[in-house]
């Protein structure tokens, strides 16, 4: 029996990209519906949380990228796994995933909010499939929302040079970890790679300043090409 699987997403969301990577890794065919531009208001009606990604499988809706990834391994255990069976490796994967979603994400937000060129690139992506007249409305609202989030989180109160230096330290650590097997945990691709990689890939897509820094690290560059 063919299932109807729909990923409700924002084009510029690394969490939605994470879920898309997870679905492709498992070989699950799906349809993606974007809520770009001013259509983002409709995304609030998809779940009680009011955020995407939301995965709809024959009418069953799962919200939150981590919950979706866990569900996919439970529902499709015979397909390539997102989380290792080995409990020690699984714990490491979950730590990477949480670190990516809760900390690394804010660096991606930082470069979108504070680099005018990156913000323009992000707005262009966020306008995919939408009428041009929405752009003057979307850009200022996106910028304000990102900057407010950064201030509440704390990264927005730090000096630029300190944020940049810490981000580069994170890149060095990731590049070093990848020298062992080419993946963050173990010898196979896991949701840890998809989580961290999705955050970095969004910086690469929009930040002309940080893109060279990321791709100059050879192990990261090779790894991103495999995700």
Burial class (CB in 10 A: 0-12, 13-18, 19+), 131: exposed
Q: How far apart are CA 60 and CA 47, in angstroms?
A: 11
Confidence of residue 2 (pLDDT cuts 50, 70, 90): low
CATH of the domain at 146: 1.20.1050.10
Q: Are residues 93 and 146 in the same domain?
A: yes
Q: Are residues 129 and 169 in the same domain?
A: yes
Q: For residue range 80-94, what is the model confidence (pLDDT) as tens digits?
A: 999 999 999 999 999
Residue 82 lies in a domain: no
- Contact between 214 and 169 under an 8 Å Cβ cutoff? The reply is no
Q: Are residues 146 and 68 in the same domain?
A: no
Nearest C-alpha neighbor of 104 from the set 226, 225, 220: 220
Confidence of residue 50 (pLDDT cuts 50, 70, 90): confident
Q: Are residues 44 and 143 in the same domain?
A: no
Q: Are residues 191 and 117 in the same domain?
A: yes
Residue 214 lies in a domain: yes
In our burial notation (b when 16+ CB lie closer than 10 A, e otherwise), range 6-17 reads bbbbbbbbbbbb
Q: Are residues 21 and 92 in the same domain?
A: no
Q: Are residues 201 and 96 in the same domain?
A: yes
Q: For residue range 91-123, what is the model confidence (pLDDT) as tens digits?
A: 999 999 999 999 999 999 999 999 999 999 999
Residue 80 lies in a domain: no
- Contact between 210 and 199 under an 8 Å Cβ cutoff? The reply is no
Q: For residue range 201-220, what is the model confidence (pLDDT) as tens digits?
A: 999 999 999 999 999 999 99
Residue range of the domain that includes 28: 5-75
Residues 6+ apart with CB under 8 A from 209: 111, 115, 117, 118
- What DSSP state is assigned to residue 76? -
| pLDDT for residue 44 | 81
Residue 81 lies in a domain: no
Q: Are residues 43 and 144 in the same domain?
A: no
Q: How far apart are CA 109 and CA 225, in angstroms?
A: 22
Q: Are residues 61 and 141 in the same domain?
A: no
Predicted TM-score (pTM) of the model is: 0.94
CATH of the domain at 40: 3.40.30.10
Compute how many other C-beta atoms are within 10 angstroms of the C-beta atom of residue 73. Answer: 17
Nearest C-alpha neighbor of 212 from the set 162, 179, 165, 168: 168
């Amino acid at each position: 029996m063919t299932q109807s699987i729909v990923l409700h997403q924002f084009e510029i969301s690394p969490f939605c990209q994470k879920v898309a990577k997870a679905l492709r890794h498992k070989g699950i065919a799906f349809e993606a519906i974007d809520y770009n531009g001013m259509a983002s208001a409709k995304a609030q009606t998809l779940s009680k949380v009011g955020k995407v990604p939301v995965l709809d499988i024959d009418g069953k809706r799962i919200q939150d990228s981590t919950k979706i990834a866990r569900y996919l391994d439970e529902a499709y255990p015979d397909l390539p796994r997102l989380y290792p069976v080995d409990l020690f490796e699984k714990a490491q994967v979950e730590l990477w995933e949480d670190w990516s979603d809760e900390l690394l994400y804010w660096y991606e937000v930082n470069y979108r909010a504070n680099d005018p060129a990156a913000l323009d690139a992000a707005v262009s992506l966020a306008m995919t499939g939408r009428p041009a007249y929405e752009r003057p409305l979307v850009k200022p609202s996106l910028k304000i929302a990102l900057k407010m989030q950064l201030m509440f989180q704390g990264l927005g109160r730090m000096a630029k040079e300190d944020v940049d230096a810490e981000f580069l330290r994170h890149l060095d650590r990731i590049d070093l970890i990848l020298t062992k097997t080419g993946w963050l945990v173990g010898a196979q691709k896991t949701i840890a790679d998809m989580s961290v990689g999705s955050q970095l890939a969004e910086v690469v897509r929009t930040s002309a300043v940080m893109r060279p820094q990321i791709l100059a690290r050879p192990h990261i560059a090779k790894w991103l090409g495999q995700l």
